[in-house]
Amino acid sequence: MKWASRAVPVISAAVAALAARDLLQRDHALLRNFPVIGRARYLLEAIGPELRQYIVAGNNEERPFTRDQRRWIYASAKKENNYFGFGTDNDIEYTPGYPIIKHRTFGRAVPPSSPTAGHEVELPCAKVLGAARGRPLAFRPGSVVNISGMSFGSLSGRAVEALNRGAALAGCLQNTGEGGLSPYHRNGGELVFQIGTAYFGCRDERGRFSLARLKDLIAGAPVRALEIKLSQGAKPSLGGLLPAAKVSAEIAATRGIAPGQDCVSPSRHAEFSDCDSLLDWVELLAAETGLPVGIKSAVGDLGFWDELTTLMRDTGRGVDFVNIDGGEGGTGAAPLIFTDSVSLPFQQGFTRVYRTFAEKDLHEQTVFIGAGKLGLPDNAVVAFALGCDMVNVGREAMLSIGCIQAQKCHTDTCPTGVATQNPWLTRGLDPTLKAARAANYIRTLRRDLLKVAEACGMEHPGLIDTDTVEILDGRTASTPLREVYGYRPGWGLPSATDRTEIVRLMTAEAPQGGSATPSPTAAG
Ligand SMILES: Cc1cc2nc3c(=O)[nH]c(=O)nc-3n(C[C@H](O)[C@H](O)[C@H](O)COP(=O)(O)O)c2cc1C
Ligand code: SF4
């Protein structure tokens, strides 16, 4: 008990000092009025999200990802049992806007029924990227699920490495994000190189775009396509700032900037200023590199899309792919007003853009990619029905490598080492182990998409049409997805030629299930 008699005066003195400090400070009225105990409020505010997550929130309450959604991702990533028992706890009957997928009793595809069936099946894109415009390096992406752009800088090097190795294992593409192509992106996974407004990785000493540097960069890395970033759902039309403290020598070298100085991304591109000059630049990049070239954008005013598609139709220039990011999408850091209120949510934004392309008959020549919580099978199925050929997964991929949705990505204090440059915090993230998790998650998502397609009688999720999904209006009524978004028959599907080819590929690849042979008395 001697230690206690010594400790009591020390603790009392510390509390008294803290109380004196609280009483004398002027910044916080709460602490002036309630010295010491007022601090409990700040503590609760700091750990509130975690407390709600583990103790208070229900299975479907949290955002961006509910507990059920995270549980499904974590279990899929660890190849654990990701089934749910006893039936849905979603309020299907009374939730307007709830999508229902309509299975078919007799369909062309006969799904095998073992729970692991389809896990190893490849699920390639139903369109060949760049083929419609004759790009020399056109290719069929091997996976309809790919990793969304998240820069080295906003993610740790180890997280980027885990995702790149995971992409290699799962046979999918990893988008570099706008922060350049780092050594962590060179671990076997194939890449889409994103070109942002600051031209990181392909800029000269004065920050101007350098075609020579771009060509050098892609000559030494497995880059399969180029993506010009126009905007991102969580922060459209905003530039970015990586504070000096985070600009390590490694990040500086990857981006082509000076270390230890604030790193600013402008809000607009310098290489083009309207649709006409954008299309010229797209064609220049494609001609110089041979790669398919596309754009990533959030959706706000439709004038841009009208003008772009009119020029594509009338001049023969064009983008090979369009990647639409929903306003519900993620970011490393953005002002609240932008994350909450600027740019349309995925379904509304995507369908407006798709319609603009389809009205000008450009939809079958363009590969459509979607992002915005599409790493969950139910959301992804609706996206495919609406015309997506592929989905990109950002935060879901982060969850698969250990993110716990602490939402501190902007503070450099990410507790799981995913979104921080702090060496102490990143050392806990083992890239090899987490790569396997990312790959397991991606394979499971693909498997679920294939299973749902087969339940609807189709061989591939890209063949699910807008009449296969209905949107519930409440307990007693529902509207076909086609009517909800004003689609004409056939919109949302690849061309007849592409459909035939993907069915051929899938039936050669996917194991078909079956039953016992029919009895002698069976009809037909
Ligand atoms: C940490 C983080 C960093 C991101 N960095 C980029 C980026 O560099 N370029 C970009 O186009 N989008 C970026 N995004 C957006 C994602 O690529 C994606 O479009 C968005 O999060 C929606 O997908 P999700 O709902 O699957 O996360 C980032 C998102 C996160 C969470
Ligand atoms: S654990 Fe939290 S801080 Fe880290 S990446 Fe996930 S949401 Fe961001």
Tell me if 191 CB under 6 Å of ligand 2.
no
Nearest bound ligand to the CA of residue 400:
2
Question: Ligand 1 centre from 102 Cα, in Å?
Answer: 31
In this structure, of 49-58, 64-73, 476-485, the range with the lowest mean pLDDT score is 49-58
More confident residue, 258 or 149: 149
User: What strands, in cross-sheet order, belong to the sheet with 469-472?
Assistant: 99-101, 469-472, 478-480
Question: Ligand 1 centre from 375 Cα, in Å?
Answer: 12
Instruction: Specify the ligand 1 atom closest to the Cα of 326.
Output: 22
What is the percent of the chain with per-residue pLDDT over 70, rounded to a whole number?
Answer: 93
In this structure, of 255-259, 269-273, 302-306, 378-382, the range with the lowest mean pLDDT score is 255-259
Average pLDDT of span 233-242: 84
Q: Residue 53: which pLDDT band, with cuts at 50, 70 and 90?
A: low
Q: Residue 513: which pLDDT band, with cuts at 50, 70 and 90?
A: low
Q: For the segment 251-277, what is each residue's pLDDT rounded down to a tens digit? A: 999 999 998 888 888 989 999 999 999
Nearest bound ligand to the CA of residue 154:
1
Tell me if 397 CB under 6 Å of ligand 2.
no
**pTM for the whole structure:** 0.92
Question: What's the confidence (pLDDT) of residue 52?
Answer: 67
Question: What's the confidence (pLDDT) of residue 244?
Answer: 78
pLDDT greater than 80 at residue 512: no
Distance CA 363, CA 359 (A): 8
Question: What's the confidence (pLDDT) of residue 483?
Answer: 97
Question: What's the confidence (pLDDT) of residue 440?
Answer: 98
Question: What's the confidence (pLDDT) of residue 54?
Answer: 66
Instruction: Specify the ligand 1 atom closest to the Cα of 419.
Output: 1
Distance CA 219, CA 384 (A): 33
Q: Residue 334: which pLDDT band, with cuts at 50, 70 and 90?
A: confident
- H or E stretch covering 32: helix 29-33
Average pLDDT of span 417-435: 95
Q: Which amino acid is at 151?
A: S
Distance CA 417, CA 430 (A): 10
pLDDT greater than 90 at residue 142: yes
Question: Ligand 1 centre from 332 Cα, in Å?
Answer: 7
Question: What's the confidence (pLDDT) of residue 456?
Answer: 95
Report DSSP state, residue 225: E
Query: Residue 132 contacts by C-beta under 8 Å, 6 or more apart in sequence?
Result: 320, 364, 365, 366
Mean pLDDT of the chain: 91
Question: What's the confidence (pLDDT) of residue 39?
Answer: 82
H and E: helices and strands count for the chain = 17, 13
183-199 burial, b for 16+ CB within 10 Å, e for fewer?
A: ebbebebbbbbbbbbbb
Closest residue by Cα to atom 1, ligand 1, is 332
For a mutational test of ligand 2's pocket, the pick from 62, 160, 398, i.e. the residue with the most ligand atoms closer than 8 A to its C-beta, is 398
pLDDT greater than 80 at residue 96: yes
Distance CA 195, CA 210 (A): 11
For a mutational test of ligand 1's pocket, the pick from 66, 150, 269, 369, i.e. the residue with the most ligand atoms closer than 8 A to its C-beta, is 150
Question: What's the confidence (pLDDT) of residue 117?
Answer: 67
Q: Residue 63: which pLDDT band, with cuts at 50, 70 and 90?
A: confident
Tell me if 333 CB under 6 Å of ligand 2.
no
Question: What's the confidence (pLDDT) of residue 202?
Answer: 97
pLDDT greater than 80 at residue 329: yes
Helix (H, G, I), strand (E, B) or coil at 174: strand
For a mutational test of ligand 2's pocket, the pick from 152, 156, 395, 404, i.e. the residue with the most ligand atoms closer than 8 A to its C-beta, is 404
Q: For the segment 168-199, what is each residue's pLDDT rounded down to a tens digit? A: 999 999 999 999 999 999 999 999 999 999 99
pLDDT greater than 90 at residue 31: no
Residues touching ligand 1 (Cβ under 6 Å) are: 148-151, 154-155, 177-179, 194, 229, 232-233, 296, 325, 329-332, 371-373, 375, 393-396, 409, 419
Closest residue by Cα to atom 21, ligand 1, is 330
Instruction: Specify the ligand 2 atom closest to the Cα of 417.
Output: 4
Q: Residue 107: which pLDDT band, with cuts at 50, 70 and 90?
A: confident
**Residue found under tokens 């949302």:** 492
Q: Residue 524: which pLDDT band, with cuts at 50, 70 and 90?
A: low
pLDDT greater than 60 at residue 436: yes
In this structure, of 222-231, 311-320, 419-428, the range with the lowest mean pLDDT score is 419-428
The torsion angles phi and psi of 394, rounded to 5 degrees, stand at -105, -80
For a mutational test of ligand 2's pocket, the pick from 151, 407, 420, 434, i.e. the residue with the most ligand atoms closer than 8 A to its C-beta, is 407
Distance CA 13, CA 16 (A): 5
Distance CA 274, CA 306 (A): 12
Distance CA 211, CA 52 (A): 50
Report DSSP state, residue 512: P
